[in-house]
């Protein structure tokens, strides 16, 4: 078993891991990345060794990235890993012109998307999606009792009416000015919220993996700002047969705007196709 030694206990996502490992009776710890601060990493390693635990410190960095990609993304960039989840028709429509989008994909695809939610710290949507869909943004799978992601709502000018389902789930509200919610991040930007500083503030709260579930306005703004790291796109076995809402509420002006991705996995879920992808760090 490979365990990542997380010395940053001050951000509150996990308790100090050295003590947890000692209490769990672990015999051997393999560390893939040490904190650059030798005082932190050295103290952790020494504490484990004093407790009689064998410590290996030369595991390849990629191993750590695989075990906890969001944390290492945050460590390297100061920003959470943003995963864009979209459900579209085969001709690329994510909602009809009248805003209806439930449901474009199959029950199986939606269940798979719930599993994605179970793997992240937070699920983010814009106010347009909250107002039109009234989503819960929680994991609802048969028999599931595990971790629930925190809802993150990106607001602009419009207010949310009381009684929306997600408001009962203690959301983190991101807004360009104080909006009066219990837990809010104020991040004024040129148009609505400054998404980069909002993400940085989420990272400081220990939110390292953010699953963005729409809509096209928020997705377009995150994409344009280069803040999306990877994504999962569900393509329904269906055609819209015309233009409704696309994945990104943006114009594709010229071919040089095209950004290449690496497809990391392709599978079928029920009648639909699921494509996992990652944005290329260097565009080529
Ligand atoms: N098929 C799918 O995968 C999928 C997923 C989710 C949603 N949908 C559909 O998408 C539609 C809603 O999408 P939408 O594009 O209207 O809304 P949205 O992207 O959910 O929300 C956009 C709103 O967020 C606020 N905002 C604040 N700062 C922002 C920033 N920097 N960048 C972008 N937005 C910012 C603005 O609110 P103000 O306008 O108040 O200023 C903006 O209008 C619905 O029809 C829903 O059913 C489809």
Give the residue, out of 125, 129, 188, with the most ligand 1 atoms within 8 A of its beta carbon, to mutate for a pocket test: 129
> Of the candidates 123, 83, 69, 94, which has an alpha carbon nearest to the alpha carbon of residue 278?
83
Residue with tokens 């100061």: 78
Decide whether any atom of ligand 1 lies within 6 Å of the 206 Cβ.
no
pLDDT > 90 in the chain, percent? 73
Does any ligand 1 atom lie closer than 6 A to the CB of residue 222?
A: no
In the predicted model, what is the mean pLDDT of the chain?
90
Distance 67 CA to ligand 1 centre (A): 32
Q: Hey, which of 130, 192, 195, 222 would you mutate to test ligand 1's pocket, going by the most ligand atoms within 8 Å of its Cβ?
A: 192
151: pLDDT strictly greater than 80:
yes
12 has pLDDT over 50: no
Mean pLDDT, residues 143-161 taken together: 96
For residue 212 the two structure tokens come to 């963005």
Q: Ligand 1 centre from 127 Cα, in Å?
A: 6
d(CA 222, CA 224): 6
Residue carrying the six token digits 């104080």:
178
Report pLDDT for 165: 97
DSSP state of 249: S
The ligand 1 atom at the shortest distance from the C-alpha of residue 222 is: 32
- CA 52 → CA 15, 27, 29, 46, 140, distances in Å? 20, 8, 11, 10, 42
* Nearest atom (ligand 1) to Cα of 85: 3
The number of beta carbons lying within 10 Å of the beta carbon of residue 40 is 15
Q: Is 246 in the pocket of ligand 1 (CB under 6 A)?
A: no
280 CA from centroid of ligand 1 (Å): 25
Q: Give tens-digit pLDDT for 221-267.
A: 999 999 999 999 999 999 999 999 999 999 999 999 999 999 999 99
pLDDT digits over 164-202, tens only? 999 999 999 999 999 999 999 999 999 899 999 999 999
- The Å distance, Cα 6 to ligand 1 centre, comes to 35
**For ligand 1, what atom is nearest to the CA of residue 128?**
17
- In the predicted model, what is the mean pLDDT of residues 48-54? 92
Mean pLDDT of 125-149: 96
Upstream peptide bond of 206 is cis (omega within 30 degrees of 0): no
Per-residue confidence band for 203, with pLDDT thresholds at 50, 70 and 90: very high
Q: How many CA atoms lie within 13 A of 246 on its CB side?
A: 9
Query: pLDDT band at 11, cuts 50/70/90?
Result: very low
Region 83-100 average pLDDT: 96
pLDDT of residue 72: 86
What is the secondary structure of 179-235 as a DSSP string? ---SSEEE-B-SSSB-HHHHHHHHHHTT--EEEE---HHHHHHHHHTT---EEEEEE
Q: Would you say residue 211 has pLDDT above 80?
A: yes
92 lines ligand 1 (CB under 6 A): no
The CA distance from 105 to 149, in Å, is 22
Residue 272 buriedness (CB in 10 A; 0-12 / 13-18 / 19+): buried
Block residue for tokens 């690496």: 262
**Ligand 1 and 87: CB distance under 6 A:** yes
What's the 219 CA to ligand 1 centre distance in angstroms? Answer: 8
Distances (CA, A) of 125 to 85, 91, 159, 207: 11, 23, 15, 15
The pLDDT assigned to 182 comes to: 93
Nearest CA to ligand 1 atom 17: 128
Take residue 245 and report the two structure tokens written for it. 């809402």
Q: Determine phi and psi for 112, rounding to 5 degrees.
A: -60, -40
Residue 133 CA: nearest ligand 1 atom is 47
d(CA 258, CA 248): 13
């Amino acid at each position: 078993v490979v365990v990542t030694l997380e010395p940053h206990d001050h951000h509150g996502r996990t308790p100090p891991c050295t003590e947890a490992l000692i209490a769990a009776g672990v015999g051997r710890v393999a560390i893939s990345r040490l904190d650059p601060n030798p005082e932190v990493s050295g103290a952790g390693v020494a504490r484990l060794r004093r407790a009689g635990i064998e410590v290996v410190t030369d595991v390849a960095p990629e191993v750590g990235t695989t075990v906890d990609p969001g944390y290492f993304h945050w460590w390297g960039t100061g920003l959470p890993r943003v995963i864009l989840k979209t459900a579209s028709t085969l001709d690329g429509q994510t909602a009809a012109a009248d805003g209806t989008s439930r449901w474009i994909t199959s029950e199986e695809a939606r269940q798979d998307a719930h599993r994605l939610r179970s793997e992240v710290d937070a699920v983010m949507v814009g106010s347009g999606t909250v107002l039109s869909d009234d989503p819960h943004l929680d994991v609802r799978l048969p028999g599931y009792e595990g971790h629930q992601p925190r809802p993150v709502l990106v607001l602009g000018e419009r207010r949310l009416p009381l009684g929306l389902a997600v408001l009962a789930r203690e959301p983190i509200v991101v807004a360009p000015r104080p909006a009066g919610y219990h837990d809010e991040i104020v991040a004024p930007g040129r148009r609505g919220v400054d998404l980069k500083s909002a993400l940085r503030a989420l990272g400081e709260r220990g939110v390292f993996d953010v699953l963005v579930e729409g809509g096209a306005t928020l997705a377009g703004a995150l994409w344009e700002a280069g803040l999306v790291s990877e994504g999962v796109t569900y393509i329904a076995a269906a055609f819209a047969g015309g233009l409704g809402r696309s994945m990104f509420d943006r114009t594709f002006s010229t071919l040089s705007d095209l950004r290449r991705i690496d497809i990391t996995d392709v599978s079928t879920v029920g009648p639909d196709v699921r494509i996992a992808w990652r944005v290329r760090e260097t565009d080529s």
